Chain A
Amino acid sequence: MSIGANSVEVEDLVKRFGSFTAVNHVTFQARTGEVFGFLGPNGSGKSTTIRILCGLLQPTSGLARVSGIDVAKNPEVVRKNIGYMSQKFSLYNDLTVVENLRFFAGLYGVEGDRLKQRIAWALRMANLEGRESSRTATLPGGWKQRLALGCAVMHQPSVVFLDEPTSGVDPLSRRQFWELIHQMSGEGVTVFVTTHYMDEAEYCNRLALMYRGKLVAFATPSELKRTSMKGDLILLECESLGRAIQLIREIDEVREAAVFGNALHLVMKESSAPIAPLRVHLEAHGIHVTRLEKIRPSLEDAFVALTGHAPEPAAESA
């Protein structure tokens, strides 16, 4: 497959569970060798899509292709060429580090010299050298995640699906994990990763944003930030945020207002709308404004603008 070709193709994909539509006519492509971010709140259909791509769920309709192979028709062929890391930690806690690696290598048909090399590589990659015979149960969360990644890529697959690989992992381990993701992508592996974390979304080459089963945006992070907002984004720092947000919402020119840390982010209905009246309105009600300025939107702002909701904190999702 040539560089730049699509290694994951999803066309008009639908998955229903009874009357609930988990994935609703979704279409996107991931290019070979890119880090493809799959973003969205809990229950937005990310995990369902990833499971369809790994052949773990049958789509209701539509097409899912990995490396040009129809997953629904040839799941076993696809399984040989992909690595999958599920949301929940799913290695054997009662086996040691090296026993887990050897087990998955066995299932993927990695043998002989290649087995030795791959185990040595995985231990180095996961920074688990010296912990070969530790029971997996005794490892800290971040180490377990790296080991799970090692197990999932024992057979050097061309596409890797990672379902929230860093949820519940400390920030340092998260950073290390993303270094591994970029390393793999640098070697030509397509990494398909779902996440809750906006900072992680920034590390992706391209993002697909899911919301309530629908694909609401599909672009690079910078495109998303640039195009998702029609009006200007305004930062407002003032006293008593709760009352201020009530007052701001009375103003016609403001499309949306949301609390962001210890300030408010406002989206105006039109770009280049005057912002001075905002200060006047608040000060007239006795609220002192310390800062009022136009800012560049973050990915989180784009997310809010596209879905009308703040991203939820990481937690178990369906």
Chain B
Amino acid sequence: MDWARTIAIARKETLQIRRDLRSLIVVLVMPVMLMSLMGYGINLDQTHVPLCTFDQEGSQQSQDLLKRFAHNKYFDLTLNARNYDEMIAAIDARQCTVGIVIPLLFSQRLREGDAVGVQAIVDGTDPNTANLVIGYAQQVTGDYSTTVAVNFMQRRGLGVVPPLSVDARTWFNEELESRNFIVPGVVAIVMAVIGTFLTSLTIAREWERGTMEQLISTPVSALEVIVGKLVPYFVIGMADAAFCVMIAIWWFEVPLRGSVLVLAGASALFMAAVLLMGFLISVVAGSQLAASQFSLLITFLPSFLLSGFAFPIDQMPLAVRLFTFLIPARYYVVILKAVFLKGSGLVANGSQFLGLTLFTTVVGTMAVRSFKKSL
């Protein structure tokens, strides 16, 4: 590799990037747009679920239980139905997601120590929400049931037996904020999309404009072309990465507990991987249009669905799980979450770093090999 030729390519590419202001603005605005879109748009927590009640009894005790539902951050009371039909209509109209029905003789049966069922009717069109809602409803009734049981025993003069409970402590994401878990992954998706897009046009553009024929008639080598072109885009890509991380820390207030250095190292490696992927696409695609569409296709959805960013890889079928190893974001998402939330370092993420390095090396070699200096 000849450094003078590599520098000549890098300098030329930098000049061209600087002259193409429109693309440069897109590249700098895109992270802000994607980060806010996905940071706000993707929320796996369910609070303020619209609630509808139907109290068939109307006693003090039944109202007491319903108050526990209504005065809770998980539920918002939207309707006190007077009959079943009214409640069903409200669920149909999406006025509420869950309906709680208190049966007749609720307080009497409780007094007599009988088991009583409280009915919860849940809109199951969104199974994820339905599951969460059922969990919340069980928690509310469980608490109430404990209170009732303790009261019952006290009235009979029996000693108070504290019920068994799990004392759970959550580590790394103490408030179980799904944003803390989502945002670091969003950084990976944004970088994958932008990085690949940046370089996917550069080789195809030279073929389309006819400048490639002149370029390959000179003694410049494939490696020099790719390294030379990589340098300016790497600088832009890393600036974008820093931008994304800053948005994550200062805007979304995701705690950064690990070392900035490990984060930077992983980001540099990941940026190199996606830039080289863009080169490979650019060499293979031939036209700018095909290259840009293809780069979006192979980065956005796979990084979104198969990186473990929001959907756990362990839960995927074996074939899909094996396929995820071909997606560079898979390694980077794990490192990002670990560095952000757990504060773990290089050693703890060793296998991810190794995977990412391997991926980068293979893709880089393929890019250099596929770039032919002939027509």
CB contacts (< 8 Å) of A84 on chain B: these are 214, 217
Separation in Å of the A147 CB from the closest CB of chain B?
12
Our pick among B16, B19, B220 for the contact of A107 (Cβ within 8 Å) is B220
Separation in Å of the B216 CB from the closest CB of chain A?
6
**Quick one: closest A residue to B216, CB to CB?**
A56
**Quick one: closest B residue to A80, CB to CB?**
B219
A94 and B219: CB pair below 8 A? Answer: no
Q: Does B213 contact A (CB under 8 A)?
A: yes
CB contacts (< 8 Å) of A224 on chain B: these are none
- The answer for the CA separation of A208 and B37 in the assembled complex, in Å, is 65
- The answer for the CA separation of A80 and B373 in the assembled complex, in Å, is 14
Separation in Å of the B23 CB from the closest CB of chain A?
12
- The answer for the CA separation of A103 and B218 in the assembled complex, in Å, is 11
Separation in Å of the B20 CB from the closest CB of chain A?
7
A76 and B210: CB pair below 8 A? Answer: no
A106 and B217: CB pair below 8 A? Answer: no
Q: Does B1 contact A (CB under 8 A)?
A: no
- The answer for the CA separation of A51 and B373 in the assembled complex, in Å, is 12
B375 and A56: CB pair below 8 A? Answer: yes
A111 and B4: CB pair below 8 A? Answer: yes
CB contacts (< 8 Å) of B219 on chain A: these are 76, 79-80, 107-109
CB contacts (< 8 Å) of A85 on chain B: these are 214
CB contacts (< 8 Å) of A238 on chain B: these are none
Our pick among B8, B216, B373, B375 for the contact of A103 (Cβ within 8 Å) is B8
Fill in one digit per residue for A73-99: 1 if any B CB lies within 8 Å of its CB, else 0: 001100110101110111111110001
B19 and A94: CB pair below 8 A? Answer: yes
Q: A57-B374, A111-B4 are in contact. Are A86 and B210 (CB under 8 A)?
A: yes
**Quick one: closest B residue to A100, CB to CB?**
B12
Our pick among A58, A79, A91 for the contact of B218 (Cβ within 8 Å) is A79
Q: A56-B216, A106-B4, A107-B219 are in contact. Are A99 and B15 (CB under 8 A)?
A: yes
B window 5-19: CB within 8 A of A: 5, 7-9, 11-12, 15-16, 19
A/B pair count, beta carbons within 8 Å? 84
- The answer for the CA separation of A79 and B211 in the assembled complex, in Å, is 16
Separation in Å of the A183 CB from the closest CB of chain B?
22
CB contacts (< 8 Å) of B20 on chain A: these are 94
Q: Does B2 contact A (CB under 8 A)?
A: yes
Q: Does A104 contact B (CB under 8 A)?
A: yes
CB contacts (< 8 Å) of A148 on chain B: these are 214
Q: Does A54 contact B (CB under 8 A)?
A: yes
A107 and B218: CB pair below 8 A? Answer: yes
Q: Does A55 contact B (CB under 8 A)?
A: yes
Our pick among A57, A92, A106 for the contact of B211 (Cβ within 8 Å) is A92
B214 and A86: CB pair below 8 A? Answer: yes
B12 and A56: CB pair below 8 A? Answer: no
Fill in one digit per residue for B297-325: 1 if any A CB lies within 8 Å of its CB, else 0: 00000000000000000000000000000
- The answer for the CA separation of A108 and B224 in the assembled complex, in Å, is 13
- The answer for the CA separation of A148 and B16 in the assembled complex, in Å, is 18
B5 and A91: CB pair below 8 A? Answer: no
CB contacts (< 8 Å) of A107 on chain B: these are 5, 8-9, 215, 218-220
A88 and B12: CB pair below 8 A? Answer: no
B211 and A104: CB pair below 8 A? Answer: no
- The answer for the CA separation of A44 and B309 in the assembled complex, in Å, is 58
Separation in Å of the A315 CB from the closest CB of chain B?
16
Separation in Å of the B215 CB from the closest CB of chain A?
8
Separation in Å of the B374 CB from the closest CB of chain A?
6
Chain B residues close to A by CB (< 8 Å): 2, 4-5, 7-9, 11-12, 15-16, 19-20, 209-221, 373-375
- A79-B217, A85-B214, A108-B218 are known; give 10 further A-B pairs, CB within 8 A: A56-B373, A56-B375, A76-B221, A89-B210, A90-B214, A94-B15, A102-B8, A107-B220, A148-B214, A151-B214
List 11 A–B pairs whose Cβ atoms lie within 8 Å, in order of A's numbering: A55-B374, A56-B217, A79-B218, A85-B214, A89-B210, A90-B211, A90-B214, A94-B20, A105-B8, A111-B4, A152-B214
Chain A residues close to B by CB (< 8 Å): 51, 54-58, 75-76, 79-80, 82, 84-86, 88-95, 99, 102-109, 111, 148, 151-152
* Nearest 6 A/B pairs, CB to CB: A106-B8, A90-B214, A84-B217, A107-B218, A88-B210, A86-B213
